[in-house]
Amino acid sequence: MPSLVLAFLGLAAPARAQSAAPQDEGNPFLNIFKYGGTTKPPEAPPNPDDVYCPIIDITEGGSSLQTLAGGIVRTQIRLGQLSRSCRSGPNGGTVVTVGVQGMVLLGPGGAPGRFNAPVTITVKNGTQVIDRRSRQAAATIPAGQASGTFTVVEDGFSVPAGLARDFEIEVGLGGSGKPARAPRRKPAAAQPADG
């Protein structure tokens, strides 16, 4: 009786040799126990949680920015909440969305109004910049208030497949963070020789 049960389940050696199924489909009888049916179910789509999505870094000196009027602080701009989401992109790449929320505070030299907050978002791999975007976010401070908020959401940063597991996201206020180039000097005119 035990050999009959083994033969039925396809586990007896002679039966296995005669009815070997293709490797990717498995044994129909074992599939009943594994998957609840004779065939292996289709592969599930990739889990979005499996997409690499690094935390956001703040560029050095980029968390706050002051504007001055006559040597007195007019406003102070500060970064607040930062968020990012990453999803699978075409050809094995990753598509990144970055959200930035911040605040503009009035200083002693400030007055209510509308203010721009320069926000730069960089997606990079080491020193290689994949994409960089600078936006002027607007914050309005109404009369009688001392602060206002701004929000920037940038979508569609495309990271190629080769860098999809090794990239960084940086956010900062102010310029783009590009290294400053030294001004090009004109060659000195030839001086006449003393003669």
pLDDT of residue 133: 97
Q: Is residue 64 part of a domain?
A: yes
The three-state secondary structure class of 126 is coil
Is there a single domain that holds both residue 167 and residue 114? yes
CB distance 174 to 62 below 8 Å: yes
pLDDT of residue 12: 43
Q: Is residue 16 part of a domain?
A: yes
pLDDT of residue 33: 64
What CATH number does residue 159 fall under?
2.60.40
Compute φ and ψ for 109, nearest 5 degrees: -95, 10
Q: What is the mean pLDDT of each run of 10 residues along the chain (195 residues)?
A: 42 42 56 66 61 96 92 95 95 96 95 95 96 96 96 96 96 64 37 45
Is there a single domain that holds both residue 66 and residue 157? yes
Q: Is residue 81 part of a domain?
A: yes
Is there a single domain that holds both residue 89 and residue 147? yes
Q: Tell me how far apart the alpha carbons of residues 65 and 131 are, in angstroms, rounded to a whole number.
A: 23
pLDDT of residue 30: 65
Domain of 21? 2-35
Is there a single domain that holds both residue 16 and residue 54? no
pLDDT of residue 174: 87
Is there a single domain that holds both residue 59 and residue 148? yes
Q: Is residue 142 part of a domain?
A: yes
The total of structural domains in the chain comes to 2
pLDDT of residue 4: 40
Q: Tell me how far apart the alpha carbons of residues 120 and 98 are, in angstroms, rounded to a whole number.
A: 11
Is there a single domain that holds both residue 13 and residue 75? no
Is there a single domain that holds both residue 20 and residue 56? no
Q: Is residue 84 part of a domain?
A: yes
Is there a single domain that holds both residue 28 and residue 103? no
pLDDT of residue 11: 43
User: Mean pLDDT, the chain, as a whole number?
Assistant: 79
Q: Is residue 139 part of a domain?
A: yes
Measured CA to CA in angstroms, residue 174 lies from 57, 59, 62, 121 at distances of 15, 10, 7, 11
Q: Is residue 28 part of a domain?
A: yes
Outline where 53-165 has alpha helix (H): none
Q: Is residue 189 part of a domain?
A: no
pLDDT of residue 53: 97
Is there a single domain that holds both residue 27 and residue 95? no
Compute φ and ψ for 19, nearest 5 degrees: -115, 40
pLDDT of residue 19: 42
pLDDT of residue 69: 87
Q: What is the pTM of this model?
A: 0.65
Is there a single domain that holds both residue 123 and residue 77? yes
Is there a single domain that holds both residue 20 and residue 116? no
pLDDT of residue 50: 82
Angle at 130 between CA 126 and CA 135, to 5 degrees: 110
What residues have CB less than 8 Å from 164, skipping those under 6 apart? 51, 52, 89, 92, 93, 94
Is there a single domain that holds both residue 114 and residue 56? yes
